[in-house]
Amino acid sequence: MTRVKSILLFRLGGLGDLLVGLPAVQLLRRAFPQAKIHLVGRRDYGALLREGGAVNEAFSADDAAWTPLFGESGGLRDAGRARLAGYDLILGWFQGRPQMPLLFSGSGSAPPERARSFHYDPDSGLAVSRYFYERTAEFLRSLDASTSPFESYCRLYLPGDEPDANHSSREAALSFTVVHPGSGSAAKCWPLGRFLSIMKTMASRGGGGILVTGEAEERLEAELRPVVFPPKWGWLRRPGLLDLARRLRPGVRYLGNDSGITHLAAARGADVVAVFRKEFKAAWAPYGRSFVVSAADVADIPEERVLAAVERRLGGPAG
């Protein structure tokens, strides 16, 4: 097998964009366990993968050290190529070309040897996560590196995680629910009142949990301030990403929209029910222990259908 000591990865975009690339990243980590792996994208999101050991360091694509890679071709020839010289393998995963680094574009200097970019093909019939994994696995096999099935690489473990078998009883674990009613796009958000109604139903059956909002949910926070939450339920406002990731452990029930936090819950091993616009389901449905309820417009999805999905997903009553 080809010896690889250092790897540079590019994955731009939001939290969900990064996490659909997690199986491909962890495939690289296991194929080259001794390699130093650096990730360029969103530093705060990449820090999650660093904490979980998938990468050694995460850098912001906006840092001055990396911006020459995104500029004119001369920038790549000068500052950019010197920075790339220390990497044995350079990979990037993209949905399009607007922010693609020059080393993958063919402009300016020729790309370094073993630099590969993978561009999602919406006609492939595969989800983005699986498409990136399959193309990366094909490339690694060309280097005589071993691979395992996609499902082997989907979990994001964090320091201090207990083996699943050591959790208290499934019934006790599943009495706790995390509800995230937001998303980066208002068009992807199921009506807040329906989330609150499902929480009330869960409470009536003895279930409790937290409703979580982040910086992107400022609009929802104004609606939530006068809400009286049912017994055993609370509101967690703007938690740190690592704190939230630790809460989304295996055995926890999660309900949310098409969002980065939903992808985080899936990657962490939570039992996920996600509400999606049908046009995005095939490409962006979360992997892992997930069930997606979809319609052309999420506002058309009735509360009863989502509650039934929660019940079916967990093999028993919600709560």
What digits encode the pLDDT tens for the residues 11-50?
999 999 999 999 999 999 999 999 999 999 999 999 999 9
Q: What pLDDT, on the 0 to 100 scale, is given for residue 83?
A: 76
Asked whether residue 233 falls in the same domain as residue 304, the answer is yes
Cα separation, 12 vs 31, whole angstroms: 23
Range of the domain at 117: 6-153
Closest CA to 195 of 183, 206, 185, 184: 183
Closest CA to 102 of 79, 121, 122: 79
Asked whether residue 185 falls in the same domain as residue 261, the answer is yes
Are the beta carbons of 291 and 314 closer than 8 angstroms?
no
pLDDT in tens, 108-162: 444 556 788 899 999 999 999 999 999 999 999 999 999 999 999 999 999 988 7
Is 41 within the bounds of a domain?
Answer: yes
Is 159 within the bounds of a domain?
Answer: no
Is 234 within the bounds of a domain?
Answer: yes
Asked whether residue 148 falls in the same domain as residue 12, the answer is yes
Asked whether residue 215 falls in the same domain as residue 306, the answer is yes
Asked whether residue 238 falls in the same domain as residue 289, the answer is yes
Asked whether residue 189 falls in the same domain as residue 111, the answer is no
Lookup: tokens for 117: 């970019």
Is 259 within the bounds of a domain?
Answer: yes
Burial class (CB in 10 A: 0-12, 13-18, 19+), 87: buried
Q: Cα 95 vs. chain centroid, distance in angstroms?
A: 15
Cα separation, 103 vs 93, whole angstroms: 13
Give the Cα-Cα-Cα angle 69, 51, 162 (nearest 5 degrees).
155
Are the beta carbons of 156 and 55 closer than 8 angstroms?
no
Asked whether residue 107 falls in the same domain as residue 137, the answer is yes
Asked whether residue 214 falls in the same domain as residue 306, the answer is yes
Closest CA to 175 of 242, 253, 254, 89: 253
Single out the residue in 92, 118, 153 at which a domain terminates. 153
Is 242 within the bounds of a domain?
Answer: yes
The pTM score is 0.92
Single out the residue in 153, 181, 198 at which a domain terminates. 153
Asked whether residue 143 falls in the same domain as residue 258, the answer is no
Asked whether residue 23 falls in the same domain as residue 141, the answer is yes
Cα separation, 200 vs 191, whole angstroms: 15
Asked whether residue 79 falls in the same domain as residue 138, the answer is yes
What value does the CA radius of gyration of the chain take, rounded to a whole number of Å?
Answer: 21
Is 164 within the bounds of a domain?
Answer: no
User: Under DSSP, is residue 60 helix (H, G, I), strand (E, B) or coil?
Assistant: strand
Cα separation, 272 vs 249, whole angstroms: 11
Single out the residue in 153, 188, 216 at which a domain terminates. 153
What SS3 string covers 237-262? Answer: ECCCHHHHHHHCCCCCEEEEECCHHH
DSSP β-bridge partners for residue 212: 236
Cα separation, 120 vs 67, whole angstroms: 24
pLDDT tens over the chain, length 319 residues: 568 999 999 999 999 999 999 999 999 999 999 999 999 999 999 999 999 999 999 999 988 888 777 765 555 555 566 778 889 999 999 986 555 666 666 544 445 567 888 999 999 999 999 999 999 999 999 999 999 999 999 999 999 887 654 444 444 445 689 999 999 999 999 999 999 999 999 999 888 999 999 988 988 999 999 999 999 999 999 999 999 999 999 989 999 999 999 999 999 999 999 999 999 999 999 999 999 999 999 999 999 999 999 888 655 444 3
CATH number of the domain residue 230 falls in: 3.40.50.2000
Asked whether residue 109 falls in the same domain as residue 220, the answer is no
Is 165 within the bounds of a domain?
Answer: no
Q: N- to C-terminal Cα distance for the chain? A: 50
Q: What pLDDT, on the 0 to 100 scale, is given for residue 319?
A: 37
Domain count along the chain: 2
**E strand segments, 191-250:** 208-213, 233-237
Is 158 within the bounds of a domain?
Answer: no
CA distances from 250 to 138, 173, 188, 245 (A): 30, 8, 25, 11
Closest CA to 55 of 67, 40, 68: 40
